[in-house]
């Protein structure tokens, strides 16, 4: 039985403001499997962002056990924690948080540019990830020249740059109009289904949570409900990995509110069949992406990007031979 990617046990979190101590998370137990797509819903102030921040290693001030990607968050020292945040998780927020004076590609490659050992092919990798999210043609644009949906795609590309297994999103469609939000939701589904990303999304939108494998509802810091979306199958992307030699076995774990028997121990598909299905799905996605792109920027239609194959290659890069293409770009980066 594989270790869940996220395993929280008895998490409690308090905030203190002056004399007032607020109990924000109460005895939260949570397990999320690799390849799972989880939506966190709940009223404002129920603790959603607080929980997401703990998962992402942004907050160590809690009690209980918080294991994420094999690490115990509360035991990580500062440097280990920043390593964890840079490599194991990607974050996407409601307000895209892009740096205005950097191009889309520079925004995406920023962590690699600032690394102690800069990545030699950071720019190429940034463009490849931008292509993956459907805006390769916008790599050189400044954020001011991008639509809201395109900015959020840049932010998603930035989150994916270091090939994290886990993507954490806090109301990622909250700042987008309905159509653009829908396209971003479809992109998320594709990242889960095609690339095997594990996705945790805080959302107020029913249409986001309806695409998730599973929805938890927080109320006053407690998990009030934990519901599986029966018709959605977890781990299509993970299945592709299984065919390449790894195996995925979703754990059977009764949930607090609704004990359920999870019957997702999938038999690996025949490679040929899976490959065809994958190709068909990709073609469909490419078509959708094309439509999305056209709708988003009618003034400059772009060709649809084909999702590149997920590649498990290690992030090894040499310090010596990478130079930014433009000195100007490097100068701008250094001012940040
Ligand atoms: N830095 C802080 N200091 C003190 N209290 C805080 C802090 N951050 C959050 N809180 C409190 O913790 C509780 C949970 O906040 P949190 O941001 O997790 O809620 P949320 O569910 O994400 O809400 P929203 O949907 O409005 O974003 C709230 O009562 C909030 O006021
Ligand atoms: Mg919040």
Mutation to probe ligand 1, out of 16, 22, 217, 220 (largest number of atoms < 8 A from CB): 22
| Buried-exposed string 73-92: b where 16+ CB fall within 10 A, e elsewhere | bbebeeeebeebbbebbbbb
Residue with the smallest CA separation from ligand 1 atom 16 is 47
Q: How far does residue 170's CA lie from ligand 2's centre (Å)?
A: 7
| Ligand 1 contacts CB of residue 319 (under 6 A) | no
Q: Give per-residue pLDDT as tens, 77-124.
A: 999 998 899 889 999 999 999 999 999 999 999 878 767 777 888 999
- Rounded to an integer, the average pLDDT of 195-223 is 94
Tell me the CA–centroid distance for residue 271 and ligand 2, in Å: 42
Residue 230: what pLDDT? 65
Residue 16: nearest ligand to its CA? Answer: 1
Ranges of beta strands (E only) in 33-108 are 37-42, 63-68, 71-72, 89-93
Q: How far is the CA of 58 from the centre of ligand 1 (A)?
A: 14
The per-residue DSSP string of 104-165 comes to HHHHHHHHHHHSSS--TTHHHHHHHHHHHTT-GGGTT--GGGS-HHHHHHHHHHHHHTT--S
Banded model confidence at residue 286, pLDDT cuts 50, 70, 90: low
pTM of the model: 0.72
E-strand ranges in the chain read 6-17, 20-32, 37-42, 63-68, 71-72, 89-93, 166-170, 198-202, 214-219, 222-228
Residue, of 86 and 23, whose pLDDT is higher: 23
Q: For a pocket test of ligand 1, which of 14, 20, 44, 45 has the largest count of ligand atoms closer than 8 A to its C-beta?
A: 45
pLDDT at 232 (0 to 100): 55
């Amino acid at each position: 039985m594989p270790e869940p990617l996220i395993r929280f046990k008895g998490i409690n979190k308090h905030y203190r403001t002056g004399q007032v101590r607020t109990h924000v998370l109460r005895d939260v137990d949570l397990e999320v499997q690799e390849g799972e797509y989880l939506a966190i819903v709940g009223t404002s102030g129920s603790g959603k962002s607080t929980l997401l921040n703990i998962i992402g290693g942004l907050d160590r001030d809690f009690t209980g056990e918080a294991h994420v990607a094999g690490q115990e968050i509360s035991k990580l020292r500062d440097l280990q924690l920043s390593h964890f945040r840079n490599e194991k998780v990607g974050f996407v927020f409601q307000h895209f948080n892009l740096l205005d004076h950097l191009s889309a590609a520079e925004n995406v490659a920023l962590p690699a540019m600032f690394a102690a050992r800069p990545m030699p092919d950071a720019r190429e990798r940034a463009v490849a990830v931008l292509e993956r999210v459907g805006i390769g043609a916008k790599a050189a644009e400044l954020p001011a020249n991008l639509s809201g949906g395109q900015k959020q795609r840049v932010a998603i590309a930035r989150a994916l740059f270091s090939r994290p297994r886990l993507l954490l999103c806090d109301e990622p469609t909250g700042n987008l109009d309905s159509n653009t939000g829908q396209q971003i939701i479809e992109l998320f589904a594709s990242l889960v289904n095609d690339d095997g990303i594990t996705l945790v999304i805080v959302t107020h939108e029913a249409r986001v949570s309806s695409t998730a494998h599973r929805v938890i509802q927080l109320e006053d810091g407690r998990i009030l409900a934990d519901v599986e979306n029966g018709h959605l199958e977890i781990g299509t992307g993970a299945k592709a990995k299984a065919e390449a030699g790894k195996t995925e076995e979703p754990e059977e774990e009764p949930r607090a509110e609704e004990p359920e028997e999870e019957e997702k121990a999938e038999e690996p598909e025949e490679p040929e069949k899976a490959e065809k299905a994958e190709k068909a799905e990709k073609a469909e996605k490419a078509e959708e992406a094309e439509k999305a792109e056209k709708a988003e920027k009618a003034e400059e239609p772009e060709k649809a990007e084909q999702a590149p194959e997920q590649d498990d290659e290690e992030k090894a890069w040499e310090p010596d031979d990478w130079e930014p293409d433009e000195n100007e770009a490097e100068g701008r980066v250094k001012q940040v």
